[in-house]
Amino acid sequence: MSRPAAALVSAAACVAVTGCSDFEYQEDICSSGEYPVMTVGDTGSACVADKDEPPAGFVRYPKGKVPQQVDDKWDVYWRTHTLDKNGKIIDAP
């Protein structure tokens, strides 16, 4: 068996037997060239082109609290929190 084939078989066996976290797929919140925004006073979100400002009713996430991948720390946090019209973090309705 060639080295590349052996490596592929080994990697497949690792995933099948142990779930090897090195191969875990994490979905990004937004595509390349976009950033996430959230609705004011609710838990909705959207992605906006890097060159654009958030649309009406949406704001940027607070610095350092921006979700990057689905189910990451901040994605989970913002499911139960939001920003009010003054930019204060509040519990989601």
Domain that holds residue 44: 28-91
Do the domain assignments include residue 34? Answer: yes
Which pTM value belongs to this model?
0.72
User: For residue 24, what pLDDT is reported?
Assistant: 80
Tell me the mean pLDDT in the region 25-47: 96
φ and ψ at residue 50, rounded to 5 degrees: -50, -35
Higher pLDDT, residue 18 or 92: 92
Residue 55, CA distances (Å) to 1, 20, 37, 76 in order:
56, 41, 9, 23
For tokens 């990451």, the residue is: 72
Do the domain assignments include residue 14? Answer: no
Do the domain assignments include residue 43? Answer: yes
Instruction: Return the exposure string of 17-35: e unless at least 16 CB atoms fall within 10 Å of the residue's CB, then b.
Output: eeeeeeeeeeeebbeeebb
pLDDT higher than threshold 70 for residue 6: no
User: For residue 14, what pLDDT is reported?
Assistant: 52
How many structural domains compose the chain? 1
Do the domain assignments include residue 62? Answer: yes
